[in-house]
Chains A and B, each alone.
Chain A
Amino acid sequence: MGITKNKEYIMSVLVYTESEQGHYKKAALEVASYAKAVADQLGTTVTAVSINVANTSTLGNYGVDKVLNISNTQLEKFSASTYANVIKQAAENESAKVIIVSSSADSKYLAPLLAVELNAGYASNVVAVPSNTSPFTVKRPAFTNKAFENIQINTEVKIIGVSNNAYGLVENSSSASAEDFAPTILESSINVESVDKATDKVTIADAEIVVSGGRGLKGPENWGMIEELAEVLGAATACSKPVSDLGWRPHAEHVGQTGKPVASNLYIAIGISGAIQHLAGINASKVKVVINTDPEAPFFKAADYGVVGDAFQVVPELIEKLKAFKSQQ
């Protein structure tokens, strides 16, 4: 399909670059990279919306041309409706027709509200740059990764939610000019009373590597080696559904069709059989490794690399060997 440069799109592509405690999240740099690719297709530039980040220059390394720099203490706590309204004002300020957000929990929370505010068609979990810009067509998973859907967005304003790790970080040096932007702040009718967040752990959403354990590990007391393996690899920990249902691990670690989706670069499944519902949720991961005693376990059909062996022997040995490998790096 051809790429058309369409007059309608001369306005820049707007990207919401999320931050945390004054620093851009990795997902922000990924969506900026993606926005740059879309802007190139459309023959236009990239404008980022940045909230409470002092130094915005990093964005220039990922193709952002202009930053709408918002600094406001009322935006210190995330509120989906308030943030959606701020992005709407930025979009109107720039007359932006294409708006790009990430697939973080916060972006997925605000994007549908933004779609209503702008009367925009919204495609979530998009995995590639548009295959066509007129009509505007993007690819996204459907049926929980059992298929892909090509969808056409027909509205004048379009919102694209980019799936985590789908596009990656692409350096593209430009010097982002920063411009102060002072939107009206709507008071949120929702109050965040408390936040409970482990700051020292990699989250499944952000992780490049995920180490996941299943019922084959026999009980919660055996998770020490899973955590250690994750630590050596800088990975997040996850588990199969029965493991969270049994209370061996917290619900937040449950991955699969009815749990969290995983789209990491490397997914290591230990003592997990590979049921269809489990695989559906993790299939978007690029490389899959399985460690299982049963060579007939269905996971071997989905994996790139497999070890037929006892996790209680393989994992501790793998940890030692990885430590040695890491120390040589």
Chain B
Amino acid sequence: MKILVCISHVPDTTSKINFTEDHTKFDTNGVQFVINPYDEFGLTRAMWFKEKQGASVDVVNVGGPETEPTLRKALAIGADAAIRVNTVATDAFSVAKQLANVVNNGGYDLVIAGRESIDYNGGMVPGMLAGLTNANFVNSCIGLEIDGTKATAVREIDGGKETISASLPLVIGGQKGLVEESDLRIPNMRGIMMARKKPLTVVEPIEASVETQSVSFEKPEPKGSVTLVSPDNLDELINLLHNEAKVI
């Protein structure tokens, strides 16, 4: 089984978010980048497929050279090879088209992506990739088993979950549940040393139109200060929620 894990290179969750160039560009100054948390669950699941079922695991990112440390980290965690599509990731559709090209050339049976990336929160790359490559698709995937060419996946739905069966090739948008938080792997010294020798192939992008375009960013309005209510006067809290905020 050939697995491809899509790795998004995103600001660490503690990052302060600022913009430059008249609110049109994300200011990466001083920002620490990490593997997108949703992708990390998928990568660990892929490592289990490798260890228990002999799968091969490649990782891919669409982005400039600055994303390579993130791909190296995925190699240190245990992926066999990395691919970087050398273009700026501008919109989800164009990223999905670049990934589709990698998938078609590589003949992958299973593509594991994260449900969404925590930078643009689009939640659309996995579905678009499935659509473009004619693969089956399971979104918000919280459990996955593969037996031969048959997949059994659990999808989180509003208020519960459903169990799905589908044949490969399959694309999933994954999240916690694929593996647990405590299963996530931190690269060790040996992994880091080995990662240096593993292949990281840079491929040039295909021509792909851009369907959406970020024009500007805004920061949320600064919040007014909190109204404190004494624990001895909870009637006042109810009064405020009812008459002032009008939410109960």
Q: Which A positions have Cβ atoms within 8 angstroms of B? A: 80-81, 104-106, 108-113, 115-117, 119-125, 137, 139-155, 189-199, 201, 203, 205-206, 208-209, 233, 245, 251-252, 254, 257-259, 265-266, 276-277, 280, 283, 286-287, 289-290, 300-310, 313-314, 317-318, 321-322, 325
Contact = CB atoms under 8 A, between A and B. Distances in A.
Contacts of A110: 127
B131 A321 contact: no
User: What is the predominant secondary structure among interface residues of chain A facing chain B?
Assistant: mixed
30 contacts: A80-B139, A105-B155, A108-B139, A112-B123, A112-B125, A112-B127, A112-B128, A113-B128, A122-B124, A123-B212, A124-B123, A143-B121, A146-B219, A146-B220, A147-B219, A149-B120, A151-B213, A151-B214, A152-B214, A189-B136, A190-B136, A191-B165, A209-B248, A257-B37, A283-B220, A305-B229, A305-B240, A313-B231, A317-B234, A325-B238
Contacts of B142: 251
B159 A305 contact: no
B93 interface: yes
A208 B158 CA distance: 14
B122 A124 contact: yes
- Classify the secondary structure of B's interface with A: mixed
B226 interface: yes
Contact of B166 (A190, A208, A313): A190
Contacts of B216: 149-150
Contact of B181 (A142, A147, A245): A245
Contacts of B189: none
Contacts of B224: 304
Contacts of B245: 266, 286-287, 304-305
Nearest to A103: B123
A120 B212 CA distance: 9
Contact of B159 (A122, A201, A289, A303): A201
A322 B91 CA distance: 47
A105 B11 CA distance: 25
Given A115-B131, A190-B136, A205-B158, A142 B231 contact: no
A146 to B, nearest CB: 4
Contacts of A306: 226-229
A65 B192 CA distance: 61
B200 interface: no
A209 to B, nearest CB: 7
B203 interface: no
B217 A148 contact: yes
Interface of B: 11, 13-15, 17, 19, 26, 37-38, 91-93, 96, 118-128, 130-132, 136-140, 142, 152, 155-167, 176-177, 180-182, 210-220, 223-224, 226-231, 234-235, 237-238, 240-242, 245, 247-248
B130 A113 contact: yes
Contacts of A155: 211-212
Given A124-B123, A147-B220, A192 B226 contact: no
B38 A258 contact: yes
B10 to A, nearest CB: 9
4 A-B pairs with the lowest CB-CB distances in the bound complex, closest first: A112-B127, A116-B131, A197-B160, A309-B231
B200 to A, nearest CB: 27
A305 B132 contact: no
B234 A314 contact: yes
Contacts of B165: 190-191, 193
A196 B157 CA distance: 9
